[in-house]
Amino acid sequence: MTSPARKLRELLARPRPLLAAGVYDGLSARMASAAGFECVYASGSSIAASLLGEPDVGLTTFTEMVDHIRRMTAVATVPLIADADTGYGNALNAMRTVREYERAGIAGLHIEDQVMPKKCGHFEGKELVSADEMVGKIRAALTAREDPDFLIIARTDARTVVDLQEAIARAKLYVAAGADAIFVETPRSVDEYAEIRRALPDTILVADVTEGGKSPQLSMQEYYRLGFQITLLSASAIRAVMHTLEHFYARALADGSTSDLTDHIVGFADRNRILDLARMQRLERDFSGKPGA
């Protein structure tokens, strides 16, 4: 059986871009897979929002993330890349994070060089660990993985905290330490994306779409032309859901009814189709032990 990590490597070996849909729970992972995405991404900010109802300021714990990711890989039919924040501590914590994330069924993860508690890459007030400490985490992560295809992505937030040149210098150190891919957070222009590619000509590069954030919003094809093989739609889906819920709850409260909202609600039959109720009913019949069931 081909591992999720091997499937991800095969996708990256093709001469075409990979778009990973941001997911945050079992339902979103199931629906993104069914929609046709070849890869999904467990966004830390989206999980903080959906699980805790809080912003991405480092409140979500390691155990919460692992448990949540396990539920997503149970229903996703495509490889899942996961946000692992800082590795949840030092190099030893990063080793445990890699082991448990890999056992949860994901294909790869990214670890960033922020000080704990970390913040969303597009927030102000971030702080960095030393480059040497991050290099140690990367080496530890590589030692901990069981499947050599498991993708270790090193993320640097130095562009916002210092400048682009510091981000590139750190990225080069992380590649030298063995990172499989690099995620430079918050480039400010197309020229900066191009400069990152020139500095790292043989490295898998990750781009992130954050609507209204610090980076320009480009298409998957545009990122690919700039040399970025993976594009993450990190928090787009949860923000779409937030928009829908804000509208729905306001209207339902004002009207005291959902009668005028049926066009904005998935039908009962469609809900059952999306959740594959028919499969559960077949299994129930097969294993019920009841004659004629």
- Report residues of the chain scoring pLDDT below 70: 291-293
Pair 195, 279 in one domain: no
Pair 115, 160 in one domain: yes
What's residue 1's pLDDT?
Answer: 80
CATH code where residue 50 lies: 3.20.20.60
* pTM score: 0.92
Residues spanned by the domain of 181: 4-236
What's residue 293's pLDDT?
Answer: 52
Pair 107, 217 in one domain: yes
Pair 78, 102 in one domain: yes
Pair 225, 246 in one domain: no
User: 210: helix, coil or strand?
Assistant: coil
Pair 127, 262 in one domain: no
Pair 61, 177 in one domain: yes
Pair 105, 159 in one domain: yes
Query: Which of 236, 258, 276 is the C-terminal boundary of a domain?
Result: 236
Pair 155, 184 in one domain: yes
Residue 160 inside a domain? The answer is yes
Residue 293 inside a domain? The answer is no
Asked if residues 89 and 58 have their Cβ atoms less than 8 Å apart, the reply is: no
Pair 107, 248 in one domain: no
Residue 209 inside a domain? The answer is yes
pLDDT digits (tens, 9 = 90+) for 224-258: 999 999 999 999 999 999 999 999 999 999 999 98
- Residues shown for the chain: 293
Asked if residues 215 and 188 have their Cβ atoms less than 8 Å apart, the reply is: yes
Residue 38 inside a domain? The answer is yes
Residue 126 inside a domain? The answer is yes
Over the Cα atoms of the chain, what is R_g? 20
What's residue 272's pLDDT?
Answer: 92
Residue 219 inside a domain? The answer is yes
What's residue 120's pLDDT?
Answer: 77
Residue 292 inside a domain? The answer is no
Pair 23, 141 in one domain: yes
Question: How many domains does the structure of the chain reveal?
Answer: 2
Pair 184, 254 in one domain: no
What's residue 137's pLDDT?
Answer: 97
Q: Which amino acid belongs to residue 211?
A: E
- Rounded Cα gap, residues 209 and 217, in angstroms: 6
Residue 102 inside a domain? The answer is yes
